[in-house]
Amino acid sequence: MSTPEAKRAFLFIFLTRLLDSIGFGLIMPVLPELLMEVGRVSLADATRTGGILFVTYALLQFLFGPLMGSLSDQMGRRPIILISLAAFAVDYAFMALAPSLVLLFVGRAIAGISGAVYAPANAYAADITPPPERAAVFGRLGAAFGMGFIIGPALGGLVGELGPRAPFLLAAVLSGANLVFGFLVLPESLPPERRRRLDWKRANPLGGLMALGRYGGVLGIILAYFIFSLAFNVYPGTWSYYAEAKFGWTSSMIGLSLMCTGVFMALVQFVLTGPITKRIGEANTAIASVCVSMLGCVAYAFIPFGWLVFLVQPFVSLQALCFPSFNALVSRRVSASEQGALQGVMGSMTALGSVFGPVLLTQTLAAFTEPGASVYFPGAAFILAAALMAASLAALIFELRRQRRRSA
């Protein structure tokens, strides 16, 4: 693929991740209000329902991630990416019109399947990027997620003033526009000679994970990545409810806080990932970013005033280095013909974390904030997340030391 083609292709992949994040960020500020309206429930009950809604999305993404990645290894990246984008556009429109909680759950299931675009999109990036540059490229794609959290929550907070369904309609329009753009500019990145026939035994999370086990050091790193993903769900799963319960913030204020998070995370991933990983290495970058995440969770658990959130955010945003450094660590260990399968498994681990994470974290938050709670402590979910991040750090250090002993 020529350089101009690669640049256009990467621009589209970047925009895909960006608009995916914008769509997600658009609905976060209004989701508590929508659940209370549709379900006619209290905030504590909406928190519990929101956790189950996240689980529905994540469970389908977990189940379909390896399949989508493996299909892209066989059929090419382009058709799988475009089909997923079409499903996203339909889903947001469906959720905007859903009159009941049941149909909201159906919409989240559709989004979970189409959300498996993560695997072929990351595999596409790996196809067109030399291994030494992948951490920086994954960092830029992570920056797209962060930028989406700059734009999405701000728009969601503003558009949400028109009603809790308005942001869903806007997300549908943006997803449809990106689908059209993809049809026009996205070439195929995986030539026929590098494709691999679909193996149904590996087109599932467990089979894909076991198949990657023959590559030394991959499973231990993936385990640490999974535990971190589990803990990281404290942000998308509980932030809106935490901010309302602890500080009494409105949807506009929640949107502003998420926007600021996106600004700092985008700066870290777009500007700092490449230089930091080159200077200290991908392994040390992963270790440092997990440490920052753990300390950030403790800070959010105990800060007494809402304005302190904006002082903590620049430091905590360094946790954004974690995802690209983990991705770069494992992508170096896997062959070019299996990058789709690898990214499918990585996406499944993220999704599996989102299956269990919201349940653990939202229910913990609800238990400590519901009327009549023996101890009112909105920071409880962040304490649990910090403990999980400590476990991720221990697993990562253990695996890296084991690899060093083997290579010595």
Q: What is the pLDDT of residues 2-60, one digit of tens each?
A: 566 777 777 888 887 777 777 666 666 777 777 777 777 777 777 777 777 777 777 77
Compute the Cα dihedral for 98, 159, 20, 379 and give only its sign: negative
343: how many CB neighbours lie within 10 A of its CB?
30
Which pLDDT score, from 0 to 100, does residue 117 have? 67
Q: Quick one: tokens of 266?
A: 């985008």
Q: Which residues touch 150 (CB under 8 Å, ≥6 apart)?
A: 259, 262, 263, 266
Q: What is the value of pTM for the model shown? A: 0.67
Burial class (CB in 10 A: 0-12, 13-18, 19+), 407: exposed
CA distance 357 to 392: 14
Convert the pLDDT of each residue in 221-269 to its tens digit.
888 988 998 899 898 778 888 998 899 888 778 878 877 877 887 788 7
CA distance 318 to 310: 14
CA distance 205 to 352: 9
Select from 141, 102, 143 the least CA-distant residue to 122: 141
Which pLDDT score, from 0 to 100, does residue 233 have? 86
Convert the pLDDT of each residue in 335-392 to its tens digit.
666 666 666 667 667 767 777 887 789 889 988 988 877 889 999 999 999 999 999 9
Confidence of residue 212 (pLDDT cuts 50, 70, 90): low
Which pLDDT score, from 0 to 100, does residue 320 have? 83
Residue 216 has pLDDT above 70, yes or no: no
Residue 282 has pLDDT above 50, yes or no: yes
Residue 1 has pLDDT above 50, yes or no: no
What one-character DSSP code corresponds to residue 377? -
Convert the pLDDT of each residue in 68-85 to its tens digit.
767 777 777 888 888 888
